[in-house]
Amino acid sequence: MKGLNEGLKKKLSRHIDDEKEDIIQLCSELVKIPSENPPGDMGDIALFVKGWLEARGLRVETYEPERGRVSLISKIGEVDKPALILNGHMDVVPAGDPKRWDFPPYCGEVKGGKVLGRGATDMKGGLTSIIAAFTTVFQVVKALPGRVILNAVPDEETGGEHGSGWCVKIGKVQGDACLIGEPSGIRHSFIGEKGICWLRLNSEGVPAHGSLPMFGENAIEKLVKALPIAQRMRREEVETPREIASVIEASQDFYREMMRGKGVTDEAKIEDAARAINHNTVNIGVIRGGVKTNIVPESCTANIDIRVPAGVTPEKVKMHIEEMLKEAGLADIKCEFIDRSNPNYTSPTEEIFTVLDNNVREVVGVNVKPLFMTGATDGRFFRLKGIPAINYGPGEISLAHAYNEYVLTDDLIRATKVVAGTIVDFIYH
Ligand SMILES: [Zn+2]
């Protein structure tokens, strides 16, 4: 099959070169549609993507389980197996303060080898690459002996439950592997991510007049004592699963480099960022309590965002915090999950990764480096369902959610070639 694949891939690569301007234009058009989330209404951008695909002869299914949360699914191929899913989110984070941009955030201008604007990196560049690769395979390959499923989703920036989560859960999207176009840079691939352990701590007290606080019980003061206990999770030692030890180490180097690239010079901070890959991090995100200065508060709540590395589960973290609260005489503080997911990864020995690696070598000239990330992506929905999933897309992770976001047009085209080649090698293996 090898020879056949090579010929086919050359054809695809030439086709992508011929369509280069159209592909860059597609990215620009996507950036021009401000699909901010929140609020998260994908009506306009979904309509555009659907129209773009249909104009090229593709059939597109539309689903809207919640108002404005539109998912698109398009399928090509002759048989159901092997099936490769290409997934990308259409939503972007809000542009923030327009004065802090050097250009209008939704200009989508193509200038100096870049497409400029909010979402260019995260992830309209990657969305462009998977759409263009999918369409190229559809146009060039007749009678594809497998299935490719393009899945454009909403809601990723606010948790993904109504986008990828929904598509995977109800079985609208099924396959043997999944490639997500999230920005990894064209030399890296994110194969795993930390888990989520979002907790709500709640303390109850007894209200009293503020001038005689001894007759009450102060819920805020009680909760404040619990916070350092939650923060202790930062120091917890973690045993990393052996099969990804080298991935974790490489990821730490990657995060160190990224911090330096962002202009951070404080070595302690840089080490903290590297440490975050294989340790818990704790962020006290919200605190609410009390109603009036002169009333002893009756209740207080804190929302805490703990990210757990491979080797730890959110359940274990919660249990440990509850034990420590008990030891500290704070057993009546309630601790409950707001959200949780296990840390998850796809082994670099999985076929989807080795196939990607071959294609990055062919197109970019280097071996793709597998990395672990601190943030959660839609990858978890697939992995937790047993579908190997990796992130590969143009754009640099340090530009995601940042001002003056852009994607390099060269990377856009190269990523498109890598994805097209990966489709072919995966289907014809
Ligand atoms: Zn993203």
Q: Are 244 and 310 in contact (CB under 8 A)?
A: yes
118-158 pLDDT tens trace: 999 999 999 999 999 999 999 999 899 999 999 999 999 99
* Ligand 1 geometric centre to CA of 289 (Å): 34
70-120 pLDDT tens trace: 999 999 998 999 999 999 999 999 999 999 999 999 999 999 999 999 999
* Ligand 1 geometric centre to CA of 342 (Å): 19
The rounded distance, in Å, linking the Cα atoms of 291 and 278 is 40
Contacts of 165 (CB under 8 A, 6+ apart): 155, 159, 378, 381
Other beta carbons within 10 Å of 279: 21
Question: Which residue type does 266 have?
Answer: D
* Ligand 1 geometric centre to CA of 416 (Å): 17
The rounded distance, in Å, linking the Cα atoms of 387 and 379 is 9
* Ligand 1 geometric centre to CA of 251 (Å): 18
154-202 pLDDT tens trace: 999 999 999 999 999 999 999 999 999 999 999 999 999 999 999 999 9
DSSP states of 201-225: EEEE-B--BTT-GGGSB-HHHHHHH
